[in-house]
Amino acid sequence: METNKTILAVIPARKGSKEVPGKNMKLLGSKPLIQYTIESALQSELLTTIVVSSDCEETVAFAKTWERIEAPFIRPAAISSDDTPSIEVMKHVMKFYKERQMEFEYVCLLQPTSPFRSPNLIDDAIRHMLKMDADSLTTIQKTPDKYNPLWAFHLSNGQLARFISDVVMPSRRQDLPDSHYRDGNIYLLKTALLSRNRLLGGRCIGYQAKNEIDLNINTLQEWKLAELHIEMHNREQKSTS
């Protein structure tokens, strides 16, 4: 299915990071972390415009070296703190383009912290959303049984209380219903949701692709896992060549 929808991809890449300092430009394997997401976006045939939003001059300069990647501003400090929601970054980008008479029907959030998207994931997710006539979409993975919400508790003053207390807790793994979590690879939504400060809303659907690598890099431990993945991939490539 082809589409003539206008879709803006936003790659947010602020310079501050408490767990992994300078992670967006830090080399993972042989290239900066952000490059993996830039390359994923460039593989898409359905994204209309791809923009990097960053408060880091080095990141902006790097983004500008890529054909079809736009980095037309330095993101204001007011929306570049550790606790700035992604939706505020997206609203700033949309406002920037609207002031230049460019509007989009959909916006796609691609976080650099999810570097290992498969080549067709972005376009497959877009096609799925349009086919389902949804308002928003996020990529998902099945929750491992040991983390199933029916087996989850919160701890208060040394006492455990179930998160979901109005459903009988299954004693066997086989009796657990499937549950899913957001894997961080893609958020896709109609731009109208931004005005309601919603990243997901309306008719919201999930997209679960097969064989996607589930790795979101927010800690040093996760960074090391990403390095290990690349090392293993390189060994496999050498063994088959």
Q: What is the pLDDT of residue 58?
A: 96
- pLDDT (tens digit, 9 = 90+) per residue, 116-140? 999 999 999 999 999 999 999 999 9
Q: What is the pLDDT of residue 241?
A: 64
Residue type, 74: I
Q: What is the pLDDT of residue 2?
A: 57
Looking only at the bridges linking them, the beta strands covering 106-109 and 7-12 are parallel
pLDDT of residue 240 exceeding 80, the answer is no
pLDDT of residue 88 exceeding 80, the answer is yes
As a whole number, the mean pLDDT across the chain is: 94
- pLDDT (tens digit, 9 = 90+) per residue, 31-77? 999 999 999 999 999 999 999 999 999 999 999 999 999 999 999 99
Q: What is the pLDDT of residue 239?
A: 77
User: What integer is the mean pLDDT of 221-226?
Assistant: 96
Q: How far is CA 62 from CA 33, 45, 71, in A?
A: 12, 22, 9
Cβ neighbours of residue 236 closer than 8 Å, sequence gap 6 or more: none
User: What integer is the mean pLDDT of 179-208?
Assistant: 95
Q: What is the pLDDT of residue 122?
A: 98
**d(Cα 138, Cα 204) in Å, to the nearest integer?**
8
Q: What is the pLDDT of residue 1?
A: 56
Give 49's strand partners. Answer: 8
User: What integer is the mean pLDDT of 84-88?
Assistant: 94
- pLDDT (tens digit, 9 = 90+) per residue, 103-116? 999 999 999 999 99
At residue 17 the predicted structure's pLDDT band, cuts being 50, 70 and 90, is confident
Q: What is the pLDDT of residue 34?
A: 98
Asked if 36 and 118 touch (Cβ cutoff 8 Å), the reply is no
Q: Which token pair is 120?
A: 């067709």
At residue 236 the predicted structure's pLDDT band, cuts being 50, 70 and 90, is confident
Q: What is the pLDDT of residue 99?
A: 96
